[in-house]
Amino acid sequence: MDRRRFIILGSAGSVAVLTGCGGGGGAAMPPTGTAPPPASPPVANPPPATPVSPLTAGQPLTDLARLPNTSASPGVFDAALVAQRASKSMLPGTSTEFWTYNSLVPGPLIDVFEGDTVRIRLENRLSQQTTVHWHGLPVPPDQDGNPMDPVAPGASRLYEFTLPVGSAGTYWYHPHPHELTAEQVFRGMAGLFIVRPRTDPVPAAIEEKLLVISDLRLAADGTIPSNTAMDWQNGREGNYVLVNGQNQPVLTINPGQSQRWRILNATNARYLRLALTGHTMTLIGTDGGLLRTPVPGLDEILLAPAERVDVIVTANLSSRASAVLQALPYDRGSMGMMGFSTSTIPLLTLNYTSAATAAVALPGALNSIADLGVPTKTRRLVFSSGMGMGGMGMGGMMSFLIDGRSFDPTRIDLTSRVNEVEQWTIENRSSMDHPFHLHGTQFQVVSRTHGGVATAEPYLAWRDTVNVPAFETVVFKVVQRQPGKRMYHCHILEHEDQGMMGVLEVVA
């Protein structure tokens, strides 16, 4: 655990609250699970009177701190996660209180192998309930941190699961408590979870870099403000986009060198249209693992909230300039009042060294993805939103619905059979994009509409999250392998907290 960067408030077991912390500090949060909505009646925050001074930029990219394995047995990963507050100085002369896993922002890297048994004890030192959800991993439903299984403040629980062979991929973990997920994530709780194959088809000579992209909104006094009514509608975007918790860090590369970048969009709501100036990218993997073959020559990659990609970046040999990884403007629609992401945001600088390195060739075949086959059941889900439809959102104005309903943890919305191949059509009848996410398994996108015209997906890929643009439709095939209850929802976390979520019961 890297604690150098933090001043830890309070000793083990206590919950420290910073004085001078704004309304979002959390001291007044409801303590338990059947809590009222997390925001007091929201009032749009006025813009800060004085501009926020910039965060330090240009530091070397730090590697993610690793969650230590305390097990001596091969094939067993034993570890502890502590949900607790921790403070760090972000703006000069101020202190910012985060909610963290193990006092780290982002949370520690969990790095395991296929076949491993993972046992992680969560200790909740927050003043409200939480859970740990293992986003994208095929874990049993009762180990998946569903909102129906909260860990009370002061309590702890063990999560235990075995990762099957074939599950290698780039996953993440984050809290999933009923109505409190958005706030716990935007205050700092999220981490990367890598599952490696015993033999990786990507040559080890290709250096791997892990990039966790998160959003941070800081007030001028260094506090992290609560969501505004607008945030509850459109999803919160911060005023900084961080990579591994750093503002515009620097990564170095040798001319000609290839690097493997695993990138996670851990933001609540920001769409990352990633581009690297002067370079193309080669896509080799998505959420749930490697593609069959590399997809080279990409000028940009759209990474919706919760999505991950595995890409190869190769430095030029001829022009030895530095490059910038950017998030280009993307219009994700809105609930009618403001647009989003209208500017290009620099995320990371790639600096060339002078020593050239020979590029390492990628194998032509990376992974054997079998097509899930002919579906024997089809279903259609409809995203909608509007004023006063089926209940009020936490913003007090708008509701966010799936099939016309708002989430009810006691209701079963859909039923599937174990091992049955299904085809799901997700139709978005609202004026903004929503990233659809399903727990417990990976799916294969079959087609997507653009301007209402369907296009077949060009390659097979394992995904657990897919963007459904405003007024468009996405079709995928999916099989659930384990019985129990699974969540499906929009991964704009403000929408999820406001009920854009349902329960799928998988029966044997």
- H-state helical runs in 162-293: 181-186, 229-234
486 binds ligand C2O, rule: CB under 6 A: no
Is residue 385 within a helix (H) or strand (E), and if so which, with residue range? strand 377-387
Q: Which does 151 bind (CB under 5 to 8 A by kind): Cu ion, ligand C2O, none?
A: none
Least distance to Cu ion from the beta carbon of 404, Å?
15
178 binds ligand C2O, rule: CB under 6 A: no
Instruction: Show Cβ contacts of residue 226 under 8 Å, excluding neighbours closer than 6 positions.
Output: 22, 23, 24, 39, 42, 183
135 binds ligand C2O, rule: CB under 6 A: yes
Closest to ligand C2O by CB, 135 vs 332, is: 135
434 binds ligand C2O, rule: CB under 6 A: no
Q: Which does 495 bind (CB under 5 to 8 A by kind): ligand C2O, Cu ion, none?
A: Cu ion
Report which of 502, 486, 474, 403 is spatially closest to residue 440, judged by C-alpha positions: 486
Least distance to ligand C2O from the beta carbon of 174, Å?
6
Least distance to ligand C2O from the beta carbon of 185, Å?
9
Closest to Cu ion by CB, 26 vs 175, is: 175
Residue from 125, 176, 187, 209 that binds ligand C2O (CB under 6 A)?
Answer: 176
Binding part of the chain for ligand C2O, among 30-38, 72-80, 392-400, 483-491 by CB under 6 A, reads 483-491
Instruction: Show Cβ contacts of residue 74 under 8 Å, excluding neighbours closer than 6 positions.
Output: none
Q: Give the span between the Cα atoms of 120 and 58, in whole angstroms.
A: 35
190 binds ligand C2O, rule: CB under 6 A: no
Q: Give the span between the Cα atoms of 167 and 56, in whole angstroms.
A: 38
Residue from 85, 125, 157, 174 that binds ligand C2O (CB under 6 A)?
Answer: 174
506 binds Cu ion, rule: CB under 5 A: no
133 binds ligand C2O, rule: CB under 6 A: yes
* Long-range own/partner contacts, residues 335-338 (CB < 8 A, 24 or more apart): 335/233, 335/234, 335/385, 335/398, 335/431, 335/432, 336/431, 337/230, 337/233, 337/234, 338/230, 338/234
Report which of 162, 170, 172, 66 is spatially closest to residue 114, judged by C-alpha positions: 162
Note whether 401 and 390 are within 8 A (CB). Answer: yes
157 binds ligand C2O, rule: CB under 6 A: no
Q: Which does 174 bind (CB under 5 to 8 A by kind): ligand C2O, Cu ion, none?
A: ligand C2O
Give the binding site for ligand C2O (CB under 6 A).
133, 135, 174, 176, 306, 437, 439, 487, 489, 491
Give the binding site for Cu ion (CB under 5 A).
135, 434, 439, 490, 492, 495
